[in-house]
Structure 1
Amino acid sequence: MTSLRLFLQVARTCSFSETARAANLSQPALSRTIKLLEEDLGVRLFDRNSRNVMLTTAGAALVPIVERLTADFDLAFRELDQTFSGERGRVVVGALPSIAADFLPRAIARFLAERRQVEVIVRENLSGGLLQNLQDRSIDLSITIPPGGTAPIRFEPMFEDEYLLVCRPEDLELIPDPAPWRVFEQFPFIAMEPRSSVRMMTESVFAAAGIRTDARFECVQLATVGGLIGEGLGISLLPRSTLPLMAIGKQIAWRKTEAPMASRTIGMCTLADRTLAPAAEAFRQLVLAMAVDTKF
């Protein structure tokens, strides 16, 4: 590429001496470079004498080609530099539905305000699905609960997501503050589906508190839980981060619970043996920084 750039400069200035000075080369070195280029191409590029340098027909035909080549080369390296610096690229982030609905959009908006040429793709899933996506490398990182098992996954805690009793506003007068655990035996219980991390935590907390309650409804979507609660069909125990997903035209309220209080840790999961692309690493750092001040 250097020899082509030198050829182009000579073609524009019609001067070996001027091009040599601009390129900080000796004139004999420049002449050798052009001669080698002519030998490689098998054509003469310049006609010259003691006074003039002129393009040959072959040289004139080569000029627009070299202009395109050098422009494409420069553009490619500018884009590559932006990729290496995290200004371009793609980030595929997985998240629990409750995180994808509130915290994650705020993080993406702040990230894209500074890095407009980065493409961000969101994959919502339950904790088990996110773990599998991460191991399959179909996502770069995930915002979820701590992974179980022995998979080589790095987990960086971000914040605690406390569990709350969720009910209708008119039920609050019947429920002390903080809510005793026995309340869950007095009202119909609305649960998430059995395979969800929320349901597993709920059952663990009930066991620790010595509570036995059967789910009247089992829901896949948090909006369904909110709708059932709003119609007075029961109460639930849910992380604080899920509350925005239930306010769909129905009024809901909440109470903190008595000890033992429950919470889940939300954090950033990445593969321990994978180096993130610069854009993904920049997004990871921004999310971790935002989490310090996050309150639900």
Structure 2
Amino acid sequence: RLLRSFLSVARTGSLTRAAQAVHVTQPALSQQMRELAGLMGVPLLDRVGRGVELTPAGQELFLSLEPLLGDLELALSAISERSLEIRGTLRIGAIGTYARALVVPSVSRLLASHSQLRVQVEELTAAQIDSALQDNRIDVGLAFSDLSRADISQCQLFEETLSLISRSEHSTTSGNVRLEDVASQPLALLNRTFTMRRQIDTVFRAEHLLLDVRLELANVDSLLSVAQSSDLAVITSGLGVRDPGSLLIRPILHDALKRTAALRWRRGRSPSAAVNVWRNLLAEQIQQTPGIRPVAAP
């Protein structure tokens, strides 16, 4: 403190300006200079008119101190910046569609700004994500909103509507489609181990409509490949479509075929700096992605 105050006096040649620079009163600064001179055992300043000049001893001290304190300030600044730098490993689990459409683009932006960070992304089912969170195999998951587990916390991010997807030339209509129209078409669907399939079955069963399911598959990529190469339509998230020009995406008109996505983590675990920064980038990615509606923060 005394040395910083002395440097300020030496640079400005004025107790008044130096006091303002170091944010103390002028009497307090004068007392500091007397204290420093007492510790050194020699006078450091001479009064000249309304200002001050360095004595030979003061000049010698100034020339010795200035580069040393400058280096110290640079070192402290560098340490402070490194303490804010995000490093380590961020482990993310996400259902396949969300991983490809949202997680990978946002993680790419994260890594571009934080060279010391490493990220692991796993494509998992919703149930596998919760299990991995509980076993501490991932730090955060992106899956469907589910408030049934007391050991998992979540933050809802966006809402989407499941869509009927088919080759463009096999339909003359666009826009929304009714349940009755869906039931009249031959379909390929995910198998019944998937939450999405169980959601679809529940809705159509409640409306007493029988689906014409010709093919069951185990991943969304295969489902969309069938839609592109056959006469079968599929029901899935429009987020999975990588080439929208070749497929017709028609949201299905039914509230129960909407689903809400949430960021999920183990209850009681504080999010890391990496999670917080990635979460902001993910929110920006969601805002830029057509076909989904961001959920307002509570």
Superposition map of 1:63-78 within 5 A:
none
Matched, 1:271 2:266: yes
- The DSSP-based 3-state class of the residue aligned with 1:103 is helix
Superposition map of 1:38-77 within 5 A:
none
Q: Aligned letter for 1:273?
A: G
Q: Aligned letter for 1:295?
A: P
- The DSSP-based 3-state class of the residue aligned with 2:97 is helix
Unaligned runs of 5+ in 1: 1-23, 28-73
TM-score (norm. length: structure 1):
0.65
- The DSSP-based 3-state class of the residue aligned with 2:221 is helix
Superposition map of 1:110-121 within 5 A:
110-121=109-120
1:176 deviation in Å? 6.7
Change (3 A) 1:207 1:123: same
Superposition map of 1:164-179 within 5 A:
164-173=163-172, 177-179=175-177
1:117 deviation in Å? 1.0
- The DSSP-based 3-state class of the residue aligned with 1:102 is helix
Structure 2 equivalent of residue 46 of structure 1: none
Structure 1 equivalent of residue 181 of structure 2: 183
Structure 1 equivalent of residue 277 of structure 2: 282
CA distance in 1 between counterparts of 2:287 and 2:168 reads 31
Matched, 1:252 2:251: no
Q: Aligned letter for 1:109?
A: S
Structure 2 equivalent of residue 34 of structure 1: none
Structure 1 equivalent of residue 239 of structure 2: 241
Change (3 A) 1:85 1:209: farther
CA distance in 1 between counterparts of 2:283 and 2:249 reads 28
Provide, for residues 261-284 of structure 1, a one-character-per-residue CA deviation record: whole Å limited to 9, x for no partner: 732111210112112332233323
Q: Is the 8 A contact 1:163 1:261 kept in 2?
A: no
Aligned partner of 1:203 among 201, 204, 208: 201
CA distance in 2 between counterparts of 1:142 and 1:110 reads 18
- The DSSP-based 3-state class of the residue aligned with 2:185 is coil
Q: Is the 8 A contact 1:193 1:199 kept in 2?
A: yes
Structure 1 equivalent of residue 58 of structure 2: none
Identity fraction in percent: 18
TM-score (norm. length: structure 2):
0.65
1:204 deviation in Å? 2.7
Change (3 A) 1:260 1:90: closer
Q: Is the 8 A contact 2:189 2:234 kept in 1?
A: yes
1:109 deviation in Å? 1.6
Change (3 A) 1:109 1:169: same
Structure 2 equivalent of residue 124 of structure 1: 123
Instruction: Provide the alpha-carbon RMSD of the alignment.
Output: 2.8
- The DSSP-based 3-state class of the residue aligned with 1:211 is coil
- The DSSP-based 3-state class of the residue aligned with 2:283 is helix
Matched, 1:105 2:104: yes
Q: Aligned letter for 2:182?
A: F
Change (3 A) 1:186 1:265: same
Q: Is the 8 A contact 1:230 1:251 kept in 2?
A: yes
- The DSSP-based 3-state class of the residue aligned with 2:275 is helix
Change (3 A) 1:148 1:191: farther
1:234 deviation in Å? 1.5
- The DSSP-based 3-state class of the residue aligned with 2:246 is coil
Change (3 A) 1:139 1:81: farther
Structure 1 equivalent of residue 13 of structure 2: none
Q: Is the 8 A contact 1:134 1:271 kept in 2?
A: yes
CA distance in 2 between counterparts of 1:230 and 1:284 reads 33
Q: Aligned letter for 2:268?
A: D
Q: Aligned letter for 1:288?
A: A
1:158 deviation in Å? 1.0
Structure 1 equivalent of residue 148 of structure 2: 149
Aligned length: 218
CA distance in 2 between counterparts of 1:164 and 1:91 reads 32
1:199 deviation in Å? 1.0
Query: Quick check: 192-201 or 129-138, which moved more?
Result: 192-201
